[in-house]
Structure 1
Amino acid sequence: MGDKMKALHYDGPFKVSIKEIERPKLKHPDDVIIKVTTTCICGSDLHMYEGRTAAEPGLVFGHENMGIVEEIGPGVTLLKKGDRIVLPFNVADGRCRNCEEGKTAFCTGVNPGFAGGAYGYVAMGPYQGGQAQYMRIPFADFNALKLPPGTENEADFALLADIFPTGWHGLVLSGFKPGESVAVFGAGPVGLMAAYSAVIRGASRVFVVDQVKERLDQAQKIGATPINFKESDPVEQIIKANDGMVDRAVDAVGYQAVDKGGSKEQPNIVLDQLIMVTRPTGGLGIPGLYVPSDPGAPDAQSGKGQILMSFGKLFEKGLSLGTGQCNVKAYNRYLRDLIISGRAKPSFVVSHECGLDEAPEAYDKFDRRVEGYTKVLVHPNGPL
Structure 2
Amino acid sequence: MKALVYEGARSVSVKNVPDARIERPTDVLVSVTTTNICGSDLHMYEGRAGMESGRILGHENMGEVVAIGEGVDKVRVGDMVCLPFNISCGFCRNCEAGKTAYCLTTNSDPLTAGAAYGFAGMGSHSGGQAELLNVPYGDHNCLVLPEEAQERQSDYVMLSDIFPTGWHATELAGLQPGESIVIYGAGPVGLMAALSAQLKSAAQVMVVDRHPDRLALAEEIGAIPIDDTLGSPIDQVNQLTNGAGADRGCECVGYQAHDPQGDEHPNLTLNNLVHSVRFTGGIGVVGIFLPQDPHSPDRLYREGEGEVAFDFGLHWFKGQTMGTGQCNVKAYNRLLCGLIEQGRAAPSWIVSHELPLEQAPQGYRHFDDREPGWTKVLLHPEESG
- Cα displacement (A) at 1:371: 4.4
- Cα displacement (A) at 1:118: 0.2
Residue 356 of structure 2 corresponds to residue 360 of structure 1 = no
Indicate the residue corresponding to 2:255 in structure 1: 255
TM-score (norm 1): 0.97
Indicate the residue corresponding to 1:115 in structure 2: 113
Q: Secondary structure at the match of 1:247?
A: strand
Instruction: Give runs of aligned pairs for residues 186-225 of structure 1, distance below 5 A.
Output: 186-225=185-224
Amino acid of the structure 1 residue aligned with 2:30: I
Distance in 2 between residues matched to 1:242 and 1:226, nearest whole Å: 14
Indicate the residue corresponding to 2:327 in structure 1: 326
- Cα displacement (A) at 1:143: 0.6
Match of 1:36 among 18, 32, 39: 32
Amino acid of the structure 2 residue aligned with 1:205: Q
Distance in 2 between residues matched to 1:218 and 1:70, nearest whole Å: 36
- Cα displacement (A) at 1:305: 0.3
Indicate the residue corresponding to 1:279 in structure 2: 278
Amino acid of the structure 2 residue aligned with 1:133: E
Match of 1:15 among 11, 25, 28: 11
Indicate the residue corresponding to 1:235 in structure 2: 234
Q: Secondary structure at the match of 2:270?
A: helix
Q: Secondary structure at the match of 2:208?
A: strand
- Cα displacement (A) at 1:56: 1.6
TM-score (norm 2): 0.97
Distance in 2 between residues matched to 1:307 and 1:210, nearest whole Å: 21
Instruction: Give runs of aligned pairs for residues 41-56 of structure 1, distance below 5 A.
Output: 41-56=37-52
Distance in 1 between residues matched to 2:156 and 2:22, nearest whole Å: 25
Whether contact under 8 Å (2:265, 2:298) holds in the other structure is: no
Residues 129, 67 of structure 1: alpha-carbon distance in 2 compared, 3 angstrom cutoff: same
Indicate the residue corresponding to 1:139 in structure 2: 137
Distance in 2 between residues matched to 1:297 and 1:273, nearest whole Å: 20
Distance in 2 between residues matched to 1:75 and 1:93, nearest whole Å: 14
Percent identity at matched positions?
A: 50
- Cα displacement (A) at 1:372: 1.2
Residue 20 of structure 2 corresponds to residue 24 of structure 1 = yes
Amino acid of the structure 1 residue aligned with 2:142: A
Indicate the residue corresponding to 1:67 in structure 2: 63
CA-based RMSD = 0.9
Indicate the residue corresponding to 1:78 in structure 2: 74
Distance in 2 between residues matched to 1:268 and 1:260, nearest whole Å: 14
Indicate the residue corresponding to 2:147 in structure 1: 149
Q: Which moved more, 1:240-249 or 1:162-171?
A: 240-249
Distance in 1 between residues matched to 2:299 and 2:206, nearest whole Å: 33
Q: How big is each residue's C-alpha offset from its partner over 1:334-379, in whole Å with a ceiling of 9 and x where there is no partner?
A: 1000000000000011110000101111111111112411111000
Whether contact under 8 Å (2:169, 2:286) holds in the other structure is: yes
Runs of 4+ more than 4 Å apart: none
Q: Secondary structure at the match of 1:338?
A: helix
Indicate the residue corresponding to 1:99 in structure 2: 95
Distance in 2 between residues matched to 1:101 and 1:53, nearest whole Å: 28
Number of paired residues? 378
Q: Secondary structure at the match of 2:272?
A: helix
Which blocks of at least 5 consecutive residues in structure 1 are unaligned? none
Q: Which moved more, 1:149-158 or 1:226-235?
A: 149-158
Which blocks of at least 5 consecutive residues in structure 2 are unaligned? none
Instruction: Give runs of aligned pairs for residues 332-371 of structure 1, distance below 5 A.
Output: 332-371=333-372
